[in-house]
Amino acid sequence: MSSWKGLESLSHNFLTGTLEGFVKWSRKSSMWPATFGLACCAIEMMAAGAADFDLARFGMEVFRPSPRQSDLMIVAGRVSQKMAPVLRQVYDQMVEPKWVISMGVCASTGGMFNNYAIVQGVDEIVPVDVYAPGCPPAPETLIHAILTLHEKVMTGEITRRRDKTGSGAGIDLAEETPGWVQASATPVRIGTPK
């Protein structure tokens, strides 16, 4: 048993496959976010949690005040150089498995704050799984990012989360439209005078 490495040492069979699917489903279904609102994006994050968009539909309504209890860090807002070590510490205190959504352009690349005070993208500090664009992203965009992450959790492996490049779950996902996106119908042309 000296080489015991947890689930990684198990070979894949029917039982572990079913178990893996169940674990993935349960991880996806109650992914509790850490409270990490830094700027105006946090307002949209709160709006997504409130009645109008209702993150409780995805089992995510509890924003945990303690990083020990949370699975997902939504970095909402611009990260200043002074906040960067705090952000990294909160990430380190979270228990594996953990995911990061970089919400908004400021968190993703610095956005319009291209200066010495703001970190030019949180992926310089923590590994980011999904980027949500927008300034700030509307609740729909955040929910889109969360559903993309759910897709990533469901299709990725539970034991080895990071691949060699260190980015995400080591899977190629963006080639196809995810299943929850509805196919768009033929648009009705309005707005054109006769």
Interface contacts to another protein, rule CB under 8 A? 51-54, 57, 105, 108-112, 114, 121, 123, 129-135, 137-141, 143-145, 147-148, 152, 167-168, 173-177, 180-182, 184-193
* Residue closer to another protein, measured from CB, 37 or 134: 134
| DSSP letters for 99-126 | EEEEESHHHHH-TT--STTB-S-GGGTS
User: Residue 124 and residue 17: Cα distance in Å, rounded?
Assistant: 35
Decide: 86 and 119 in contact? Cβ < 8 Å.
Answer: no
Distance CA 138, CA 47 (A): 9
Least CB distance from residue 4 to another protein, whole Å?
Answer: 33
Please, what is the minimum distance in Å from the beta carbon of residue 136 to another protein?
9
Closer residue to another protein in complex, CB, 11/165 = 165
Total residues belonging to the chain: 194
Nearest to 41 by CA among 113, 115, 102, 126: 102
Nearer to another protein, 77 or 168 (CB): 168
Comparing CB distances to another protein, the nearer of 3 and 186 is: 186
Instruction: Give the residue with the Cβ less far from another protein, 71 or 129.
Output: 129
Residues 192 and 194: their CA atoms lie apart, in Å, by: 6
CB of 100 to another protein, least distance (A): 12
